[in-house]
Structure 1
Amino acid sequence: MNTEAGTKPTLSDNEEDSSVSPPPSRPAVISIASPDEVMKLPTRWSYESRSSLLSLSENGRELSFQGQNCNGDRDAAAARSIQPIPPACGIYYYEVEIHSKGQKAHISVGFAGPDVKPSRLPGWEPSSWGYHGDDGCSFAAERHGTPYGPTFGLGDVVGCGIDFSTNRAFFTKNGTYLGSVFENVGKYTPIHPAVGLQHVGESVKVNFGHEKFLFDIDYYVLQERQKTWARIMSRPLDPTLFRSPAMSDGTAGDVEPLLPEVSEEQSKHTINKLVLSYLAHHGYVKTMKAFQNQTRNTSEETPSSPPSFDDDVEMDGIIGPSTPPLSTNAFEADIESRTQIVNCVLAGDIDAALAKTRQHYPSALDAEEGVMFVKLRCRKFVELVLESAELEKKMKAVASKEASKEEDHMGMMDVDGDGDSMVSESVIANGSARMSGYDPERSSGITELQVVTRQYEAALNSALAYGQSLDNDFKITHNLAIKNIFTQTFAILSVSDPLSAGGSITEVAGYNARVQLANELNQAILRSQGRPSNPALEMMYRQTAVCLLHLGLSQVGAAAFANMQKELLDA
């Protein structure tokens, strides 16, 4: 699709099927917190939350043991990251490179809660978990560890991860996965990456994602995401989800089903209506008819089965519960009208869009103190300004081309003539002829530059006149929302080329603004008829996505892998 302003895109789900409004390719999901608040990841060791026996590098990623060796399992020097790990990330992973005098390092790599003492190795204290290099054991708040993996020491890279969907940890050594370990890691307390050292000469360098990991964590995460999504997709449909609850005696909390339990066939019937309502909303008439034929052919015509979709398409079920039933002809005529109106907006023909809307859906323009009417008029002003800006660029290009031709002509005269005076007289005479409107090279006597200049002046005057009428309306309105629309529109006058200005001006003038206005107009028309402004299927998608976001932030780690956009849209 060409996205330049002034083009006329063809919007269809196939070569013959037009759509009322471009469906959003990325349905908006309301974020309940900023990315900084939700997904702030550890980036360095904490200067405050470390043992005084550990020296910290300037970049906060290297720790070295200083002082006398710690004895046995009584003392250690530990540090944890400056930030806890956000459960909403689903899986978290980091790596530590070991520097030690020997092949077995008295070092522990793992996790620790915010209250764990920095004088103890991760895994020795409650709310801490660690993998120890000297014996290869795993420790979870215990004095004697459990055999887990190989020992590690000088030059080894130990990776440490946590899967919040299971609250289990896992470790790697030199890029090799060692398996999951521990239970309820981070389930009841925030956790930080943590390390502990005991001997002089031991040091570690951490990679919190600043560099490429030795272990292929991306592939590991992909596998876990696919497992989670497979579990979701394999879950059978629960017909009771489509049962309508109602209060039996008006008291809160006492709920009984209004309808008997819904069968699987009736549930499928409801799902089909959701799909049909989506197709109807966006104007995919041919696709909608094909879907009807498919459901008619696959449904079993038995007394116990739900009614099939006949020729009247059961419009009361598709369009909305409060909408009067429409005949097939009236329904298709409505879609055709909305398609024409929306395509006029997308093509920049605002006058035609206004005329058709006023003819078929006048109440859509008058609702909310006429805000949609104002938006359309402001868009017309934008289109007039864009037209004059394009003609101005064309005028300058033609002037430059003609100036170049003059220079070439002067050069030829200088070569063939007898002197500078002869050239000057010829150029002046030719230039005077052009300025007076006579071009010896054009039989019409009018240059291209003069034609384009007149077109530019006419377009500019038209834009200024229309803008003056908008300014008069701006001065008398008391509606703050409408005043804001006027203000944003008039901002395009501050630049010579609104489409390349960037920022909020381009947002107002660009093609995406046309698409947004077309969708808003379609929604206004639907509301004026008592229909939902958004298809129920889109609303269900958005509500489900928000629920998954809440679950992820509530430390239900598996929700982080249920990425609806990636699975349903990006695929």
Structure 2
Amino acid sequence: MSPSTDSDDDGNVSPPPSESPVISVASPDQPMKLPTRWNDECRHQSLNLSENGRELSYQGPNSNGDGAAAAARSIQSIPPACGVYYYEVEIHSKAQTANISVGFAGPDVKLSRLPGWEPLSWGYHGDDGSSFAAEQNGTPYGPTFGLGDVVGAGIDWATNRAFFTKNGTFLGSVFHNVGKGVDVYPSVGLQHVGESVKVNFGHEPFKYDIDYHVQQQRQQTWTTLMSQKLDPRLFRADDDGTEEEIAPLMSEVSEEQSKQTVNKLVLSYLAHHGYVKTARAFQKQTRDAVEERTSVDDDIEMDDVPGPSTSSSSSFPTSKLEADIELRTRIVNSVLCGDIDSALSETRKHYSGTLEAEEGLMLVKLRCRKFVELVLETAELEKKMKAAKAKEEASAPEMDGIEEDGMGMDVDDEMISASPIANGSNGVSLLSSDYEAALNAALTYGKTLDQDFKATKSPEAKNIFIQTFAILTSSDPLSAGGAIAEVAGHDARVKLANELNQAILRSQGRPTHPALEMMYRQTAVCLLQLGLARVGAAAFANMQKEFIDA
């Protein structure tokens, strides 16, 4: 990603992350697997399962009341991190009311009982419309269901309550503590011959608008989060009081205090990434707004952000921090433009410790990038040279015809100099000369690079060398794809520019990431861990949606 810049700025110090820092629950390390079919090994023997694993039919003896039944569970349990889980079942029965239970069950519930009859199982029964949760006599809940009906069952992990639908109509929440401390599976139970069900685990559109349901739950969760009062200790860095001493101060947190803290975070972010003029404008706007309401408090002064220059010449900034930002901006932009020599020269002059840290790893990275730039220049000249030769060869037959038809004609020197062949040959010759010079420069630099660092013992440095010199295996590194393109492409420049900026900041004992960015990342990780820890409401606090996409 090319770095975004202020419209009135020459550039920015550090391109913001090209990828969102939000960590998805469905990550490669911890995939979120959802039910996709009934489990052939977790079904009663009286139930026949179709080849696609979605249809169940009862083939056993008829059973009434609380006698024998036949149940099945899905192949995968429901991950609480999904926030809301929902599936639907289409009922096939000989009667308008079916002795079928749709619901959920734990991993050890008997398969010879309907969901809702046993502990750790919950069901909605079609014959009487009652809900069951480890009980013989159910509780009136909804309408009966049978032939042709589509019954949906869901769990809201934010409240640990279940809900059911019939033919797309929401019937209300029911049960408490569903799935607390136990894995839960979608489950159905049948009792009569001729009864069968077909499940929809998301293979097809649902009858019920579950997306709207989830959006409502997300909005409710987010509203609750936004209404939480802030702990005043966040605004009192020098506070050493005990919990009892701090408690009375809870009501003292004002909106103004929270705004001041947020403003400091925003200004710090802008200064870190080099948006100097935007930071100045934001700072002025903030101070003007405060002055309209009250006198400016000392705590509001944000000295970390450079103020407007008072010098008669903009070439001489009045703030050391501003000078540092402008210098880092220049160095980073040099890397982004492929001018590694300038980046190395200024880094060595002003931030020499950066190149010496970690056994000179940053120096290795920059010099390897310099070699890559030389190879890219060579490859580009070779392409131009080949194109010029092809153009010359294509135009040669036309000139042959001119020579034949022009026998006996006087052709002066001006006409010859204007000939496309003459110009083409001269252009190819110049390109060939430039190509040879570029090739020699790349090879010479590569040999020097190998000589200077061949004795390194750093595994990371050795890996960088292997990746760098791999571009020699391709005549067109940018089009090669794979690892070669990753090393040669513009994204590699952006990555190196960020790493260099962070290394410079680290050498100064300053944070390598803005506090605002770190807060965002840490909050996203906390939400992930809460989701994995079965705190279902965490799935509704969508950092990406609320702060990035919005």
Give TM-score scaled by structure 2 length. 0.88
Residue 74 of structure 2 corresponds to which residue in structure 1? 81
- Residues 52-110 of structure 1: CA deviation (Å, up to 9, x unaligned): 00011122111111121123221110000111100011111111111111221111111
1:291-370 correspondence to structure 2 within 5 Å: 291-299=282-290, 306-307=297-298, 313-315=302-304, 329-370=319-360
Alignment pair present for 1:148 and 2:141:
yes
Distance change (3 Å), C-alpha of 1:165 and 1:402: same
**CA pair 74-338 structure 1, distance change in 2 beyond 3 A:** same
Show the counterpart of 2:488.
509
Aligned position for 2:523: 544
Counterpart CA distance in 2 for 1:108 and 1:317 is 68
Contact 1:438 1:445 in 2 (8 A): no
Residues 281-329 of structure 1, C-alpha deviations (whole Å, 9 max, x = no match)? 111111111121122122259999731655xx423999xxxxxxxx952
Partner residue of 2:499?
A: 520
Q: Deviations over 1:442-494 (max 9, x none)?
A: 56684332222222222222211111112223321122221121112112222
Q: Distance in 2 between matches of 1:408 and 1:202?
A: 84
In the TM superposition, what whole-angstrom CA distance separates every residue of 1:154-179 from its partner, at most 9, and x where no partner exists?
22211111110011111122222222
- Matched-pair contact (CA < 8 Å) for 1:26–1:565: no
How far apart, in 2, do the equivalents of 1:456 and 1:24 lie?
36
Partner secondary structure for residue 127 of structure 2: coil
Tell me how far 1:11 sits from its aligned partner: 3.7
Aligned residue in 2 for 1:378? 368
Q: Which residue identity lines up with residue 263 of structure 2 in the other structure?
A: N
- Alignment counterpart, residue 51 of structure 1, candidates 34, 44, 48: 44
* Match 1:210 to one of 203, 206, 211: 203
Q: 2:180 aligns with which of 172, 180, 187?
A: 187
Q: Are the structure 2 counterparts of residues 396 and 176 from structure 1 closer, same or farther at C-alpha, using a change threshold of 3 Å?
A: farther
- 1:234 alignment partner in structure 2: 227
Equivalent in the alignment of 2:90: 97
Q: Hey, what does 2:463 align to over in structure 1? A: 484
Assess if the C-alpha contact under 8 Å between 2:118 and 2:134 holds in 1.
Answer: yes
Deviations 1:330-371 (A, max 9, x none): 121111111111111111111111112122212111111111
**Matched letter for residue 46 of structure 1:** N
Aligned-CA RMSD value: 3.1
1:94-493 superposed matches below 5 A: 94-244=87-237, 263-264=253-254, 265-299=256-290, 306-307=297-298, 313-315=302-304, 329-407=319-397, 440-441=419-420, 446-493=425-472
TM-score by length of 1: 0.85
Evaluate the alpha carbon distance shift between residue 115 and residue 508 of structure 1 in structure 2; reply closer, same or farther with a 3 A threshold: same
2:16 alignment partner, one of 13, 23, 26: 23
- Aligned-pair CA distance for 1:186: 0.8
Q: Are the counterparts in 2 of residues 124 and 139 from structure 1 also a CA contact under 8 Å?
A: yes
Write the distance in 1 (CA, Å) between the matches of 2:125 and 2:3: 64
Instruction: Answer whether contact 2:71 2:190 (CA < 8 A) is retained.
Output: yes
Paired with 2:364 and 2:26, the residues of 1 have a C-alpha distance of 33
**Partner secondary structure for residue 447 of structure 2:** helix
Shift of 1:272: 2.6
What is the alpha-carbon distance in structure 1 between the residues aligned to residue 158 and residue 452 of structure 2? Answer: 57
AA matched with 1:314: D
Cα separation, 1, equivalents of 2:303 and 2:424: 66
Provide the C-alpha distance between the structure 2 equivalents of 1:49 and 1:347, rounded to a whole number of angstroms: 61
* Pair 1:441–1:461, CA change in 2 (3 A): same
Specify whether residues 477 and 37 from structure 1 end up closer, same or farther in structure 2 by C-alpha distance, changes over 3 A only.
closer
SS at 1:171 equivalent: strand
- SS of residue matched to 2:111: coil
Q: Distance in 2 between matches of 1:500 and 1:441?
A: 31
Deviations 1:107-145 (A, max 9, x none): 111100111100011111111111111222211111122
Which residue identity does 1:40 align to in structure 2? K
Q: How many residues align?
A: 528
Whether contact under 8 Å (2:392, 2:421) holds in the other structure is no
Write the distance in 1 (CA, Å) between the matches of 2:541 and 2:124: 30
Q: Tell me the CA shift for residue 25 of structure 1.
A: 4.6
Question: Aligned partners of 2:126, 2:424: CA distance in 1, in Å?
Answer: 93
On the 8 A contact 2:267/2:305 being kept in 1, the answer is no
Aligned counterparts of 1:74 and 1:408: Cα–Cα separation in 2: 97
CA offsets 1:402-429 (integer angstroms, 9 cap, x no match): 332235556x689x98xxxx9xxxxxxx
Deviates more, 1:115-124 or 1:468-477: 468-477
Structure 1 residue runs of 4+, over 6 Å off?
A: 30-33, 245-248, 253-257, 301-305
Contact 1:135 1:151 in 2 (8 A): yes
State, as a whole percentage, how many aligned pairs show the same letter: 66
> 1:35 offset after TM fit, Å?
4.1
| Number of the residue aligned with 2:411 | none
Q: Which moved more, 1:87-96 or 1:463-472?
A: 463-472
Q: Which amino acid aligns with 1:12?
A: T
